[in-house]
Amino acid sequence: MEKSVIFFDIDGTLLTEEKTLPASTKESIMKLKELGHEVAIATGRAPFMYKKLREELGIDTYVSYNGQYVVLNGEVIYTNPLNSEALEQLTNEALENGHPVVFMNHEEMKANVAEDHDYIRESIATLKIYQMPEHDPHFYRDRDIYQTLLFCQENEEVPYEQKYKDLDFVRWHPVSLDVIPEGGSKAVGIAKIMEKLGYPKERQYAFGDGLNDIEMLTEIENSVAMGNAQPEVKDCARYVTKSVDEDGIAHGLKMVGLL
């Protein structure tokens, strides 16, 4: 069998809504590796948020922050930090509007508000991360920030989208959005890895379920949407497998002929 590279999203793809890793998913990943395939992660999460998962699955190639921080075989090969001036302007405006911001680099995250804000606690709790970001309103200064979280209700981000053209806003929770450099995506990060690995398009695969997977599923020829994916995500994929908690990864890998 020819060797392929397979990229997996985390939340709703590798992990269930309860953030558990199905046994069939782990078994499938291990089988792929035994067969000699390259297994990688492509996620909106920060690297420090899924270190244990990478260790459990033995994965050292990954795209973090929706393409802004890319690692190949344990080595950082590409970074794309946010524009510091735009980030400062956004932060100041968001603070005036009562919208908290969390700054994230490759090692940690800090909030620009000191109080225990409901939006921050509610959204980050869904990731099953039990340590909330500490307060440091100037964390973005003099360091690279790869992604920022903006906390606001749906549609309240529209004025920001209209004003900050060099930033992209991707909603992942009813009260939270990822803020990344304009044009950044998992697909861009994957392309950086492909420049090094050189797999042809017919041997590239990707599994995802969320809105931040759309570019990846559109660009990768053998794209698979999870059964629990949103309709517009399924429309972008070549295949649709079962839900993550119905052994969707194992089913999808068999569907495309990798297992």
Show which residues are catalytic: 9
Q: Which of left, alpha, beta for 133 (phi over 0: left; psi -120 to 50: alpha)?
A: beta
> Strand 38-42 vs strand 62-64: parallel, antiparallel, or unpaired?
parallel
CB atoms within 10 A of CB 79: 16
Closest CA to 225 of 202, 201, 250, 252: 252
The span from the CA of 177 to the CA of 166, in Å, is 16
> Which single residue is written with the structure tokens 């620009």?
112
The span from the CA of 9 to the CA of 29, in Å, is 13
Which positions ≥6 away from 97 have C-beta within 8 Å?
152, 156
Residue 24's SS3 state is helix
